[in-house]
Chains A and B, each alone.
Chain A
Amino acid sequence: MKYKPLFIYLFISSVFLTLVSSIWKIMATLQGLKLTEINLNINFLLALFLSLAFILIGKKFNHLIKIVILSLIFTFFYILINEGAPIWYNIGILLICLFFTNRLKNYDLNFLREDFISEKIIFDFLSLFAIVFFAFVILFPFYLMFVTSFKTQAALLFNPLDLSISLTNNLTETFKSYFVIFNTYDFGRYIYTSSIVSIGTVIITLIFAIPAAYAVARLNFFGKTFLSTSILIIYMFPAIVLVIPLYTVFSQLGLRNSIEGLLIVYTATTLPVAIYMLQGYFKSIPKEIEDAGLMDGQNWFGIIVKIIIPLSLPAIASVALYVFMIAWNEFLFSLMFLDNPKTFTLSRAINHLTGDAETPRQYLMAGSVVVTLPILLIFVYFEKYLVSGLTAGSVKG
């Protein structure tokens, strides 16, 4: 019997259980529980005993009975050692423990004799921990944004740790921030402007990009290679170096504070990537289909409208969603070009809210939810298309 795998198993599994129960404790604290001790050392010892007991018992009992009994014992000692906490918190501990021991199903002393078992154990627990870690780190800010928008200023200042949403309040009280931003700060108008700008950008970009991409993909002309390499290079130039000349020219032409100005700039900055993505797809369409179209006496317009567009709808959807996302989230140009509240986009409006230090943060977060929610819903719903758009266009960001 080698002892190295045993020690590694004990150490890693105990660390894992301790960390997961600590994360649970942090989350519980954020629901307003008054817990002030993490007790890492004692919990680690407790987890160590559980892991040891588990591996020693081995497969002598039915798995289900074993994990239930061990989890109950662990939870009992956990409650004894840690501060008093409500029932739901302890049930959470029990569930974590059940999940953990169920995960250990294969583990007994024989299993530890397998080849490379230490590495396998490390990889096993590391990936399990990574799932918890990534989910927590990514979702927490979104959760914070969402919850804060339902809070009142007083509650936020009184206990910043209490992130629970109270369901006892009436609806008007809970959604007060949303009523305020729509009534007082005119967010309805900003949603309208943002939608017009984003959808407009998508439409104009596609109208410009589809013919150009077709030409790059299919036709022979002087300067073709030069053009297709310069598309990517142009795309690499950032908005920040365009801002000053565009600002001066737009001021002199009176295009600042206008939706048209924004549309022109957004279209021009997304065109290179749209052309780049579309021409790649157009090249994959068999040329024979087009030749058939030519035989039927179609000109290039007919070929694009009747053959290319219907065949490349998925690619067009990807480009459209990607361009929509860029235009909806865009901030720099809207900051530079818009200073009249009547022409604000959502992003610019939220930035404008912070200009006044008195603006309560729950309004700010309600605004943030309003701008974030549509794009996340679109993303979740059209994930397939948007992911392929992101992969193709994600040299930029």
Chain B
Amino acid sequence: MTDTLSKIEKRTAYTLLLPAVFLVFAIVLFPIFANIWISFKEVQLKDIRIPEPRAKKIVKIIPEDKSKLRIVYRLRNSSLIQDINNIKFSDRLPINIEPVDLDSRCEFKSKKIICNFGNWEAGYKENFEILIQNTNNKEIDNKVIRDQKPKLSGDADNILLTTKFTLKNFKNVFNENEFLDLLLTTFYFTFFGTIGAIIFGMFAAQLVNQKFYGRTFMRSILLFPYVGPVVALAYTWTLMLDPNSGTLNALLVNFGIIDKPINLLGQKYLILSLFGFEIKLRLALTTVIMFEIWRYFPLAFLFILARLQAVPKDLYEAAEVDGAGPFRKFINITLPQITAILSILFMIRFIWNFNKFEDIFLLTGGASGTRTLPINVYQQGFAVSNIGMGSAVSIVIVMLLIIFMIIYFKLIGKRANEV
């Protein structure tokens, strides 16, 4: 009895899970593995379309004899790279109309012209002509003929399904001179973006945890940057930082802080001299990191605030009795209470910033030293149109991610349940 019950339970569970699991497998897990396949292939963006045979039908009237019509089919192979095999063609004719002197590749059967064109090599073109006549010797209505579309079919190898593999993509990815630079940029962006967001989030949480007038309002607006659509916010920032008519540059020039506008998003380096040392600051990258911090500190804020509100009040009261000031209280009570959440936040935000694409793409498009790994996927795959390379970069990202996750679960996985 119990056995059948547990069987029923199992079956119910699988039925309930199947749709969701199937969808996630198809759209999330399958592509991750498909990346491995594609990354070992030489595929360009234009190869993705499956080659197909095409025919454009042109009807020409013969003025001397209205009972006859000349049809020209402009045949071609849509692909410039791949052959198509075993091409079948068919076109229907109205009643009482027949072809005259049909091409040897074709036959006329039950009001249909059926042809067997065999193989077309890549980029094949042909003008295929047929003469038709009305058996009643009446005029042919050419509109009827024109409206009838021919049908074509053929077999072509899907370049994605062939078993030709190459290591070229990975060689290119790693041999690229800029690969180290790419990796460094990604790490700068990820690390400083994460740390900055957490520090600002901590300040904001500490602030909102006190009582003051307008506290709920403050809590709402602190989340605005995260809730707003990235497209709108990124373009607003671009506009604000614009060197020619942006508000920020205009303000700085107006108050005499800088002499001439700075292109904050388009300048790779800013040379600062501090105490006689020349420091090359990655300007555009810094600006993008600022945007990143601005947009994602609300998340850190939300987490830390939730934790702060759970800290028992009597801890602070006890500390006050012991004669601790606000600073000591923060160091000795608040900080130890939130270290767990801070480390979890750091790992999670690190992984997510590492994958960030939209923000950088919309602000700089990856120009002026802001090209990170995710931007490189896009640029290789869609700007350079090399799908194989793009996939290879994706694989590099997935590999690094798996390493991060292993570290995450080793260090924090057990602790996460305690918080």
Contacts and interface: CB of A to CB of B under 8 A. Distances in A.
* Chains A and B come from one and the same complex: yes
A200 B294 CA distance: 31
Given A240-B355, A265-B27, A329-B230, A144 B38 contact: no
Contacts of B9: 219-221
Contacts of B387: 244, 248
Interface stretch (A42-50, A82-90, A131-139, A284-292): A131-139
Nearest to A299: B12
Given A142-B224, A300-B16, A268 B326 contact: no
B381 A243 contact: yes
A127 B210 contact: yes
A interface: dominant SS: helix
A241 interface: yes
B227 A375 contact: yes
Interface stretch (A64-72, A114-122, A173-181): A114-122
A224 B254 CA distance: 64
A395 interface: yes
A264 B26 CA distance: 10
Contact of B229 (A156, A365, A372): A372
B160 A390 contact: no
Interface in B228-287: 228-233, 235-237, 239-240, 245-247, 250-251, 254-256
Given A372-B229, A387-B302, A251 B49 contact: yes
B236 A144 contact: yes
A236 interface: yes
Nearest to A127: B207
A233 B247 CA distance: 43
Interface in B346-392: 348, 351-352, 355, 357-358, 362, 374, 377-378, 381-382, 387, 390-391
B294 A137 contact: yes
**Interface bin, chain A:** 35 or more
Contact of A144 (B43, B247, B382, B391): B247
A251 B232 contact: no
B394 interface: yes
A237 interface: yes
Interface residues of B, number: 94
A293 interface: no
Nearest to A220: B9
A53 interface: no
A371 B240 CA distance: 18
A37 interface: yes
B38 A246 contact: no
Given A238-B355, A242-B31, A245-B391, A379 B13 contact: no
A51 to B, nearest CB: 21
B51 to A, nearest CB: 11
Contact of A246 (B27, B235, B256): B27
Contacts of B325: 115-116, 119-120
Given A241-B398, A246-B31, A387-B302, A30 B13 contact: no
Contacts of B225: 138, 141
Contacts of A224: 13
B31 A354 contact: no
A161 B231 contact: no
A268 B24 contact: yes
Contacts of B23: 208, 264, 267-268, 271
Contacts of A115: 323, 325
A315 B168 CA distance: 49
Given A30-B247, A142-B228, A160-B247, A215 B394 contact: no
B67 interface: no
A234 interface: yes
B255 A332 contact: no
A347 interface: yes
B299 interface: yes
B35 to A, nearest CB: 6
A145 interface: yes
A245 B43 CA distance: 12
A122 B330 CA distance: 13
B357 A376 contact: no
A119 B326 contact: yes
B150 to A, nearest CB: 20
A369 to B, nearest CB: 8
Interface in A315-366: 325, 328-329, 331-332, 336, 346-347, 350-351, 354, 361, 364-365
B348 A131 contact: no
A126 to B, nearest CB: 9
B232 A350 contact: yes
Contact of B222 (A134, A209, A227, A380): A134
Contacts of A249: 31, 34
Contacts of B212: 127, 131
Given A161-B251, A332-B357, A248 B160 contact: yes
Contact of A242 (B28, B207, B351): B28
B216 to A, nearest CB: 9
A222 B236 contact: no
Nearest to B246: A160
B221 interface: yes
24 contacts: A29-B254, A37-B255, A120-B325, A123-B326, A127-B207, A139-B221, A141-B233, A142-B236, A144-B239, A145-B236, A209-B20, A212-B19, A215-B16, A215-B17, A216-B17, A233-B405, A252-B158, A252-B160, A268-B24, A268-B28, A371-B232, A379-B220, A379-B224, A390-B226
Interface of B: 6, 9-10, 12-14, 16-17, 19-21, 23-24, 26-32, 34-35, 38, 43, 48-50, 158, 160, 203-204, 206-207, 210, 212, 214, 218, 220-233, 235-237, 239-240, 245-247, 250-251, 254-256, 294, 296, 299, 302-303, 306, 323, 325-327, 348, 351-352, 355, 357-358, 362, 374, 377-378, 381-382, 387, 390-391, 394, 397-398, 401, 405
Given A116-B325, A247-B381, A347-B229, 12 more contacts: A36-B255, A137-B294, A224-B13, A238-B355, A238-B397, A243-B381, A245-B35, A272-B28, A368-B229, A369-B232, A372-B229, A396-B352
Top 10 nearest A-B pairs (CB, nearest first) are A116-B325, A268-B27, A238-B355, A368-B232, A245-B34, A245-B31, A211-B16, A221-B13, A212-B20, A219-B13
